Amino acid sequence: MRSIIPLAEHNPPSYEYRLCLRDRVICLRQTSDALLYRSVFPGPSPDPDLEDQREAETLKWIHDYFQLKVDLSELYKQWGARDAVFHSRKDRFSGIRMLRQDPFENLISFICSSNNNIGRITKMIQALCRHYSTTLVTLPPPADFSSTSGQPSGESHAYHPFPPPSVLAAPGVAGTLRTLGFGYRADFIQKTAKMLVDTHGGTDRDALEPAERWLLTLREKSTQEAREELLKFMGVGRKVADCILLMSLDKNEVIPVDTHVHQIAMKHYGVNGSSKAKTAMTPKLYDEVSNKLAIIWGSYAGWAHLVLFTSDLKSFASYGLPTPSPSPSVQVEVGRISRKRKVGLATLPTIPPPQTTSKSSRARAGASLRTDAEAGSTLPVYEESGLSMADRVKRRRRAEKAINVAAAS
């Protein structure tokens, strides 16, 4: 496995994340200071020249997908200087980067997101890929560096590319997707794919179909022009269109607005609305929230909103915080009194394993120190800082009673 940055010693990599492209599976791990990568292709190993070419393509894809040319540290400084709320959270939630995703895959995925949750969306996309594309490669599970053995565990997994527009445009697709649990979204997917193919062309010998290449041209259009094109598709409203603009079409200033983003805007940025009753998301309110936040955060407002969105999720409430230290526990035994104390250290956040059931699921590395001390007296030793004299006397009497009971039994 190759790395973009040289590895430090004694710095084990994280869980391995895998993404299936049209012609290869890309495997990624990270340490605190490096990104490790490798690409797996179907068939036998190629000659060295072709292998070098493929590795260069993979590295180029990684730079593009993670938008590594964007100076994220500088953006965090700018947002922190403009916004006190962002400044208070930027250290805990550092390194959150917008992915530059494939436009067609992103379009179909966000059509699936309508009135849905992350776990179900994930299962739907997996079912779509399994049913409408053949297996590219089958790989054993990755080695688990968090275990003592470091050996892989579990069954091998077959990887399927995302199907192209021409496949999803076929007449029978909607019916099949309904049997797979897509509901009303099945028609939206088939009709959107058919509209793309009918207007821009279907199969092609190249890696990308004409319809997919046309979607890429929207990156060169203005935000409003690209939005108007997306709104023509079945199942695409303002929020879905804005998600695609931000996450696939380089419109970095766009802020997709939903109820959660509206709540953030009310809580921190003075946007009108009720915190108790759910407010209907009208076009006027959508524009008010989006424009207000864009003025604060500037040309990369969509990236900044992602940081605030993440930091406001309940499931991320303890992310990046020190592990809480519990109260000292006292173990009373006949003939032996001992005290145990845990000292919490700051957690080291890492990226979450794939295919989790909620968007909040993520791997964490934590550390704790445990000290055992045997007290020389017959009474437990307490951490007494901050206690009044009366409280210390009461604790001592309770401990004496506990010892007497233990001795009597």
pLDDT digits (tens, 9 = 90+) for 150-175: 566 678 999 999 999 999 999 999 99
Are residues 139 and 231 both part of a single domain?
Answer: yes
Across the strands, what pairs with 340? 329, 372
Given a contact cutoff of 8 angstroms between Cβ atoms, the answer to whether 100 and 65 are in contact is: yes
118-127, 179-188, 196-205, 231-240: the lowest-pLDDT one: 196-205
At 291 the pLDDT is 95
Q: How far apart are CA 327 and CA 329, in angstroms?
A: 6
22-31, 137-146, 240-249: the lowest-pLDDT one: 137-146
Kindly report the number of other CB atoms within 10 A of residue 342's CB atom.
16
Torsion of CA 280, 285, 286, 291, to 10 degrees: -160
Say what the pTM is.
0.75
Are residues 111 and 12 both part of a single domain?
Answer: no
Mean residue pLDDT across the chain? 80
Q: Is the pLDDT of residue 268 over 60?
A: yes
Domain housing 60: 1-65
At 351 the pLDDT is 36
* CA neighbor of 22 nearest in space, from 46, 52, 50, 57: 57
Q: How far apart are CA 186 and CA 102, in angstroms?
A: 20
Are residues 241 and 268 both part of a single domain?
Answer: no
Domain-embedded: residue 231: yes
CATH number of the domain at 306, please. 1.10.1670.10
239 is catalytic: yes
Helices 185-200, 210-217: inter-axial angle, 10-degree rounding = 90
Sheet with strand 329-333: strands edge to edge: 329-333, 336-344, 368-374
Residue 27 φ/ψ, nearest 5 degrees? -110, 130
Are residues 126 and 223 both part of a single domain?
Answer: yes
Are residues 207 and 139 both part of a single domain?
Answer: yes
* CA neighbor of 162 nearest in space, from 26, 65, 357, 19: 19
Domain-embedded: residue 173: yes
From the candidates 221, 239, 292, 342, which is the catalytic residue?
A: 239
Are residues 170 and 239 both part of a single domain?
Answer: yes
pLDDT digits (tens, 9 = 90+) for 331-345: 433 333 333 333 233
Using the 3D structure, point to which of 250, 275, 301 is the last residue of a domain.
Answer: 250
Specify the higher pLDDT residue, 365 or 96.
96
Using the 3D structure, point to which of 267, 284, 317 is the last residue of a domain.
Answer: 317
Residue 345 φ/ψ, nearest 5 degrees? -115, 160
Are residues 104 and 246 both part of a single domain?
Answer: yes
Torsion of CA 187, 244, 167, 175, to 10 degrees: -20
Are residues 55 and 86 both part of a single domain?
Answer: no
Are residues 236 and 136 both part of a single domain?
Answer: yes
Q: How far apart are CA 252 and CA 245, in angstroms?
A: 8
Best-predicted range by mean pLDDT among 28-32, 66-70, 312-316? 66-70
- The count of C-alpha atoms lying within 13 angstroms of the C-alpha of 409, restricted to the half-sphere facing its C-beta, is 9
Q: Scanning the structure block, which residue is given the tokens 């009753």? A: 277
What's the structural domain count of the chain? 4
Mean pLDDT of the region 337-354: 34
Using the 3D structure, point to which of 286, 317, 348 is the last residue of a domain.
Answer: 317
Q: How many residues are given for the chain?
A: 409
Q: How far is CA 114 from the centre of its chain?
A: 19
Type of residue numbered 319: Y
Are residues 180 and 272 both part of a single domain?
Answer: no
Are residues 292 and 190 both part of a single domain?
Answer: no
Are residues 131 and 232 both part of a single domain?
Answer: yes
7-21, 25-39, 80-94, 346-360: the lowest-pLDDT one: 346-360
* CA neighbor of 33 nearest in space, from 372, 397, 350: 350
Mean pLDDT of the region 24-31: 93
Domain-embedded: residue 268: yes
Q: How far apart are CA 253 and CA 75, in angstroms?
A: 13
Pairing of strands 336-344, 329-333: antiparallel
Q: How far is CA 99 from the centre of its chain?
A: 10
Given a contact cutoff of 8 angstroms between Cβ atoms, the answer to whether 349 and 320 are in contact is: yes
Domain-embedded: residue 369: no
At 393, is the pLDDT very low, low, confident or very high (cuts 50, 70, 90)? very low
pLDDT digits (tens, 9 = 90+) for 307-334: 999 999 888 888 888 776 555 443 433 3
Given a contact cutoff of 8 angstroms between Cβ atoms, the answer to whether 364 and 353 are in contact is: no
At 373 the pLDDT is 33
